[in-house]
Chains A and B, each alone.
Chain A
Amino acid sequence: METIFEKSIDMRHKDLKAVEWQVPQITPKKDYGDYEFQASLEQISNELLKTFKNYRYEAYKNWGFPKWKRAKLNGYEPDKYVSFVPVSTTGKILGLNGIDQDGIEILAKYDFEGAHRKFLLMAEAFSNTGFYLKTNEGEEREPITLTYDWKFPIYETSVYNLSPFSKATVIRYLMPSKNERLFRTTSNRIIVKENASLELININLCNNDSINIDNTLIEVQKNGKVEVIDLNIGGRITSPHIVFRLAGEGAQAQLFPYFLGDKDNVIDMLYLMRFYSPETTGAIDAKGVIKDKAKAIFRGFLDLKKGAKEANASESEYTLTLSEKAKAEALPSLLVDENEVNAAHAATVGSIEKEKLYYLMTRGFSLEEAKKLISSGLFESAIDRIKVFDEGMSQVVKDVIFQRI
């Protein structure tokens, strides 16, 4: 079987190559080992899945935890392991143990780096939760909600397998938790087959001590469609990593990242869209707010491969900084191997326009209120979209945003 490995950055062209940044690794003093691995295996009965996990566990041993300069992560030592974490669901979706041959092939065929290889392998080897979504051809699945009540470390491996001409909506909701050290890392593979369409909404409401690393690879096949809202709020390190493979002719992907950081939060994002086929369309439209000493690191890569003729690639990013110690970093990149394409990106960083503030203040709002109103307005379209599926959830999100801004 042909296997696919998506590197986050591919620095080669013909006989030429460029130097690639190697993230330093730190071997932890204590790490998960056989004991935790066995505990994880005991939760499943699927032999194929066990084989996969075994393979990933062996790979896991070869890696150290990363040293991330920008996100201020200096290696990592895992918390006490819990072998099963319940996630409440609405709608029809299987646990990962229910994965079929088709799903296992997806696990075996598609691989990627994730925010860091160690964290990706960790989510796979020690998975304590996970899902398998498989639609039938032409099926329109009722929206699915996954609610993660975050009390223990979460290690998730999931596969969504959307058959041709089917439709699904998945809302992954990481509930707000008390301020304590919490950890989540995930490994999600999503295949959207011919003419299928997926709407994915990630809502990550993280507390100020938590680390949340959410790794997702999405392949979109011929005329498939994907729309993702990725909302990340708070967190000591919140690190979404989403890779899109626009593999089939006419595949479409739209990504709307939203981020909000306050206090010492670090939101460290990597979004990559790789265009392989003719007439593919991909757009990233990111917005966020940072205040206090928070830092937002936005990496948005559009990578157009040879053969992606008449592909349309676009990206915009806007960061609003609300305090003088907040740090906005952006690396919006365009990588192009094919000249018959349309590709552009733009990034802006700024503060609130004074005129807007004055206007609101003449209407009786205080300066603080005016600032809150304007900056929370950035999240409006995300909140509206969530509201369509769950009004209560959208209210929680709204409150959390308003409270933090």
Chain B
Amino acid sequence: MAKNENVNIEDLLVDQSKFDFRNPETYAYKTIPGLNEKIVQEISEQKEEPTWMRDLRLKSLHIFDTWRDPRFGVDVSDLDVSKIVAYIRPRAKKSTSWNDVPAEIKDTFDKLGIPEAEKKALSGVGAQYDSEIVYQNIKKELENLGVIFLNMESAVKEYPDLVKEYFMKAVAPTNHKYAALHGAVWSGGTFLYIPKGVKVPLPLQAYFRMNNPGMGQMEHTIIVADEGSEVAFIEGCSAPYYEITNLHAGMVEIYVKKGARVKYATIQNWSKNTYNLNTKRAIVDEDGIMEWVSGSLGSHKTMIYPSSILKGKGAKTETKAITYAGPNQHMDSGSKVFMFAPYTSANVDARSISIGGGWAFYRGWLKIGENAKGAKASVSCQALMLDNESKSDTVPLIEVYTDEADVGHEARIGRIKEEQIYYLMSRGLSEAEAKAMVVRGFVEPFAKELPLEYAIELNRLINLEVESSIG
């Protein structure tokens, strides 16, 4: 057995309290739980919104009220939207300086390492606390180049025409019931515009933190990458654990114009009382490139399928996704690619890990339209099942409506072989360390897409999860 039991696994692990700490439940304003016209009006008034936005909210509410739940995915029957607090404005102003952020909120982001990362490796940061952005700043030189990096509320006011052109145009409220919910009560998030030809050197980051119990966080992110521009955007999310259900129903809309390139990376680590029903979609023009890097680690139940619509000739997309399903987690995740133009290409590498009774379900949709002559697509799914209590499913839908496309899909389910563990243990690792090492190898292609700090963080999370699940 373990040769080196003196190695303290704790040394390799991140302090759990790093994510699971609560601040006092303070706020400047919050709506009563539930969802109705009055609440939606109230949110709109609080935000001093133009009429078109209020109308969009009300229209979305109507859709939410009248539509059925999606006919696939996780069972949402224990999610009671009438108990969710849709809007909690933190006791803080929107600020461009950490010094102006109230101490207890800044403390939260300090613990999460955000200001530190900003100094070292980022071009700009937005930090959302409950329903609103409390800090947002971008390096001066990028601002001078015309990059717009604003919280969504300010963008609605300062760039009304620009926002209106893109807001819920990639994902309409009619897309599904939770897109409608989002449309009705969205709050916070980022508006990012990169002008033609501007290449942002370091990633921009947004961090979303839910602090209050029973709340719904529904931030809206729009990225417009104009012709020939380049940007990488990272999103992180976490929350302390509560006994009651929290809901995250965010939305990301990305517009990749001709020859532009966008990379969108997410590390989702919501607490395990969270429903994460998220919608992410990119529309990619001629020769544009969209890269999704999607890590779904936390939450109780998740539905997330980052989508790329390749509508311009030669557009490309790449998805690298890791899903982790631990005890009592039902992760319904995947990817969608719609190829509607000639010579488009897509590559999906989706991996999942299930452990401790968790359920990892890959749901994919690859559609190649009649006009996508010469399209090339490959989808690969790999699942690692760490024990015999967990479940791992792979259900990819592939639709090919042209005769000149090259499409391949493969899937494989695996486990850690005992020989691997014995070998590593004979080299002095404990069983937990050995398993964690194999898992890290499995996620490596994903981890290397992340900035170093995040890759380290991901590895720490994996160590932590593997250790606590092996027990």
Contact = CB atoms under 8 A, between A and B. Distances in A.
A334 B413 contact: yes
Interface string B407-450: 11111110100000000000000000000000000000000000
B403 A326 contact: yes
B410 A331 contact: no
Nearest to A9: B395
A339 B401 contact: no
A69 to B, nearest CB: 12
B410 A344 contact: yes
Nearest to A323: B403
A333 B362 CA distance: 10
B71 A21 contact: yes
A197 to B, nearest CB: 28
A339 B400 contact: no
B197 interface: no
Contacts, number: 131
B403 A330 contact: no
A121 B283 CA distance: 46
A346 to B, nearest CB: 4
B75 A349 contact: no
Contact of B410 (A22, A319, A330, A345): A345
A17 B359 CA distance: 10
**Main secondary structure on chain A at its contact with chain B?**
strand
A334 B403 contact: no
A18 B388 contact: no
A325 interface: yes
Contacts of B393: 333-336
A340 interface: yes
Nearest to B406: A350
Given A336-B393, A347-B408, A327 B385 contact: no
B303 to A, nearest CB: 10
Interface size class on chain A is 35 or more
A146 to B, nearest CB: 35
B235 interface: no
B409 A18 contact: no
Contacts of A384: none
Contact of A336 (B74, B391, B400, B408): B391
Contact of B383 (A327, A328, A336): A336
B70 interface: yes
A248 B383 CA distance: 26
Interface string A8-38: 0000011111110110000000000000000
B370 A325 contact: yes
A337 interface: yes
Interface in A17-61: 17-19, 21-22
B404 A332 contact: no
B399 A327 contact: yes
B324 to A, nearest CB: 15
B272 interface: no
Nearest to A291: B403
Given A327-B400, A339-B390, A349-B398, A18 B407 contact: no
Contacts of B69: 19
A343 B387 CA distance: 15
Contact of A16 (B359, B381, B394, B405): B359
A142 interface: no
Contacts of B412: 343-344
A322 interface: yes
A329 B403 CA distance: 13
A89 interface: no
A261 B270 CA distance: 48
A339 B398 contact: no
B398 to A, nearest CB: 5
A19 B399 contact: no
B392 interface: yes
Given A19-B73, A333-B394, A351 B407 contact: no
A172 interface: no
B72 interface: yes
A40 to B, nearest CB: 36
A338 interface: yes
A324 B385 contact: no
B385 A21 contact: no
Contacts of A321: 400, 402-403
A332 B328 CA distance: 26
B388 to A, nearest CB: 5
A336 B330 contact: no
A341 interface: yes
B396 interface: yes
Contacts of B73: 18-19
Given A13-B391, A306-B388, A347 B405 contact: no
Residue from A304, A321, A339 whose CB has the most chain B CB atoms within 10 Å: A339
Interface string A269-311: 0000000000000000000000000000000000010100000
14 contacts: A18-B361, A19-B72, A319-B400, A327-B399, A327-B401, A329-B397, A331-B396, A334-B393, A336-B385, A336-B393, A337-B391, A339-B387, A348-B408, A350-B407
Interface of B: 69-75, 301, 328, 330, 332, 357, 359, 361, 370, 381, 383, 385-413, 415
**Ranked 10 nearest A-B pairs via Cβ:** A339-B385, A321-B403, A346-B410, A13-B391, A339-B415, A349-B407, A328-B400, A349-B400, A334-B394, A343-B413
